[in-house]
Structure 1
Amino acid sequence: MAKIPAPFEWSEEFKTGYESLDNEHRTLFNSLFALSEFNTRDQLEACKECFVMHFRDEQGQMLRANYVHMDEHTAIHESFLEQLGKWKAPVAQGDIESGMKWLTHHIPTEDFKYKNKL
């Protein structure tokens, strides 16, 4: 698993080359950071919504591009959403850190596979 960057924020090392997806990734970083700082039910719901919306958009782009690994990538998203769906506010710090690790691992290992293919 990837090391959690400190401070926990998006940086150029996570750049996919697609401005809209990079902006969404920034939002995911921000939502997890906000959840770690303001661990409320509303913040948790906002975080979940950010992930759902991003995954829908990313998968839509994959579909339109006939991306060969779309099914595999979608399954990874669904698995994370299942994990996220089990979180209850206040969310345990270990769960938030797990989400941060997942995101910092997912982008360079999975999302980078679609560079120049969408």
Structure 2
Amino acid sequence: MENKWIIWSEKFEVGYKRVDDQHRELINIINDLHAAAENGDLSIPEVNDKFKIILKRTVDYATYHFATEEKIMKAVHYKFFKEHISKHREFSSKVLEEVIKYTNGENVDMGDFIIYLRDWLFSHIMGEDKAFVDELKIILEKMKAEEKK
């Protein structure tokens, strides 16, 4: 069995399959980043190139995931839509800033960066995403009840 840095746990589930599946994939990507940073010498061009590919995957998948959540929030008129997407934008800006620095050869502590990714994701899932999905479920139940009338 593969040794993973982060193990998915039910406590991270928000209860909406599409979102949970995407959170699992984000954790897989963070695990890949961690493994690449831990197991390879980033000063070796081939290792560095592989790491940059995983960094790009991180940015691309986070963008895709945030777009999914935001589309759902918008469709159901989530009351904290603006606050939630502002958290997404702050995170995206920080990640992009660090990736650009690293890509340009500036000194970035990738260990600290990967820990930041993990901690932010866990905090966001347990806070904002759980609150969003809890409200989403209430909205969907109300819609279902109205259909039966």
TM-score by length of 2: 0.71
Partner of 1:36: 34
Deviations 1:67-114 (A, max 9, x none): 000100000000000011022258611011011110111101111111
Partner of 2:92: 81
Could you tell me which of 87, 112, 116 is aligned with 2:130? 112
Mapped to 2, the partners of 1:91 and 1:34 lie a distance apart of 16
Could you tell me which of 54, 71, 74 is aligned with 2:82? 71
Structure 2 gaps, min length 5? 38-50, 137-149
Aligned-CA RMSD value: 1.6
Question: RCO (CA 8 Å, sep 6+): is it higher in 1 or 2?
Answer: 1
Which structure carries more helix by proportion?
2
Mapped to 1, the partners of 2:7 and 2:72 lie a distance apart of 24
Larger Rg: 2
**Distance change in 2, residues 1:38/1:7 (3 Å):** closer
Percent identical pairs in the alignment equals: 27
Aligned residues: 113
Mapped to 1, the partners of 2:30 and 2:129 lie a distance apart of 18
Deviation at 1:46, TM superposition (A): 0.5
TM-score by length of 1: 0.88
Instruction: Determine whether 1:50 maps to 2:61.
Output: yes
Instruction: Determine whether 1:98 maps to 2:116.
Output: yes
What secondary structure sits across from 1:8 in the alignment? coil
Q: Does the CA-based 8 Å contact 1:65-1:117 persist in structure 2? A: no
Deviation at 1:115, TM superposition (A): 2.5
